[in-house]
Amino acid sequence: MVFHRWVQGLAAMSIALLLSAGTRSSDTGASVNIAPNPSAEQVDKRSHLIDWGHYENTPDEWGPSSDEFHTGKRCAFLKITGFGDDGCACTALAVGETDGYRAPNGIPVKPNTTYHFSFYLAGHGFKRNITVQPWGFKADGSGRDRSINGTSVLATPEWKRYVGGFTTKSYTKRIALMFFVYGLHERDVQEGATFFVDDVYIGTQEPPQPVASTLRRRIRLPEKTPLVKGEGYKPHKAGTVRLWDANKRYTMKHYDMRAWQDRAIWSQVPYGTTDYQFRGDCILESENFWVSLHSSRYDSVFLYAKTDAESTPGRHNELYRAFDTPDGRWINYGSGSKSCKIITNMPHEIEVESGSITYTRKGYETTIVTRYRLRGGKPWLEISPVSQADMQGMHGESRFVLAPEAGEDGGDFVEDSLRHPDYYACRVPNRAKMLLDLIIDDDTIWVLTSRHLPEGAQFGRRPTRFSADNAAGGWHAGWSRIGEGDCDRVWTAPFIQFAGQPVYIGVLRIGYWHYQRVGQSVTRGEPVTLNWRIAYTRQVRSSPFKPGGTWRPLYPGKWRLVACIDGCYYTIPITITAAQTASISITFDSPATGKLEYALFYLYNGTKETPKHLWTPMDIYQEAIE
């Protein structure tokens, strides 16, 4: 992140007080305080601080505190509740109205003028200095300038007075004296670290004389909560499912399964127990995947495929849960999990009801509640709507939308992100049984499916049940690593509308599909031979295929080959026998004349030779919806 790279040059963690001068300095030389609401006494009807600001980059809490203060009845506070995916806290409290980027209502100041400031600060959980530094802005609040000097302090439990000064630039018309925190988890900043600020002064004259605290000289320190250590993770027994308490909450932004590194302290929720209070994050385990109902408000909950015999979680699949606001104008997404209620907890079946972290957007308070159900020996997750749950998405980040047998002629419905502009909305025909998300950087198929709805069924804001939006500038998810240049657009997340029904996400990993660039002229009815090669240039964990090497279909069964010829898609059903799984090439009759650009090849259904333990997309569809 650009901001992180910039801040790493700081010698200390910064807490930035944004100064937006709401009053003007007196021309008579009096010590006029231009810091608005300097003691944090003024709050609005929602108890939000008036004329204070906040820069949010990693999880925190901030606002007024009546439990601790230096004088008066309140002060301002900021509490570190999580860390970024790089393990750092990076956030700020601001004296002055700002979001950390702009300050249109910041404190007016004079250019080329020297100002003094003072404040009282106490805190705990910080091991590095906090830099107190004004950020400058133009008259309209733009042009953020972080180069104005300030000071740095180390927060201690004792209320201490600090003073400093700065000189505005020739173009500085507004400021914000920032209380800015940056530091590594544990080494520099502890989770729960908190600082309090009170009695702020900013002016052209020297700060006023010190005053004594009217409450207590030292803030009260929180009681230390002992780390709960469970029995730790044990190998999974085939055919069963399990519920785990991670005994720790992961509130930072993350995509990897952060709890996996601490699995030695996990506790399994005993089978049969449903009246259980989770101390940490709730984790659901199946034979071939994980579901992490984490506590981070930055992303939706995650699904991970298991990648080896040790059950190591692989690439994330962010399970977007979405609420269509009643006015039909907005989609509010549910992040993290603030509550988990166990519905069923048996070796053959577990189900947990999870409520997302509550927030208000566009005037709608949003807490999306869904249920997650796993069954022993089944490679799919069932998700049911409970409240404010209108759509379920998967953060697949794939180049292709593929719906088997959903084409008008019974062929496959296919859309290529590179053939459409940014923001293009793909609407999958309602005859689709399922949508396959082809994940090239982990050799996985996510199978998104549900019961077929009656013809004429009404949906929400989108006209079709399955959909996906094209997006530029996002993560290419490996599609830029296949030797074809930059894949600058992907379908970020296919969605399905619940329509009051459960939806299912199947997990099929290693050898279920293949992509091949061809680029050769073909003639209708004439044979075409493809020599299979691996396109992805990095090794996928547990895959028998090597980058640049040959590929072969690992499993006998009913496969489907989708040939893109002159921009049109043709579907060719191909049965692969057990003997043919050793072949690194395939021959078929061309369905059209033109240039064969590329081919998609995937296992769709089984035959008598398909191993009984092997699941196909059609198996998941047929059994899950029973």
What's the pLDDT tens digit per position in 136-167? 999 999 999 999 999 999 999 999 999 999 99
Residue 596 φ then ψ, to 5°: -80, 105
Q: Are 552 and 532 in contact (CB under 8 A)?
A: yes
What's the pLDDT tens digit per position in 520-573? 999 999 999 999 999 999 999 999 999 999 999 999 999 999 999 999 999 999
The rounded distance, in Å, linking the Cα atoms of 190 and 185 is: 6
pTM for the model stands at 0.76
Q: Are 558 and 605 in contact (CB under 8 A)?
A: yes
Write down the pLDDT at residue 22: 38
Q: Are 197 and 77 in contact (CB under 8 A)?
A: yes
Per the document, the length of the chain is 626
Beta bridge partners of 305: 289
Q: What is the rounded average pLDDT of the residues 340-346?
A: 98
Q: What angle do CA 326, 327, 333 make, to 5 degrees?
A: 60
- Round the average pLDDT of the chain to a whole number and report it: 91
Write down the pLDDT at residue 30: 54
DSSP string, 97-157: S--SS--TTSEE--TT-EEEEEEEEEEEEE-S-EEEEEEEE-TTS-S-B--S--EEE---S
Write down the pLDDT at residue 453: 86
The rounded distance, in Å, linking the Cα atoms of 467 and 464 is: 7
Write down the pLDDT at residue 146: 94
The rounded distance, in Å, linking the Cα atoms of 105 and 107 is: 7
State how far the alpha carbon of 318 is from the alpha carbons of 276, 305, 334, 413, 443, in Å: 26, 12, 11, 24, 17
Write down the pLDDT at residue 233: 95
Q: Are 555 and 614 in contact (CB under 8 A)?
A: yes
Is it the case that residue 92 has pLDDT exceeding 50?
yes
Write down the pLDDT at residue 81: 84
E strand map for 466-526: 466-472, 489-497, 503-509, 513-522
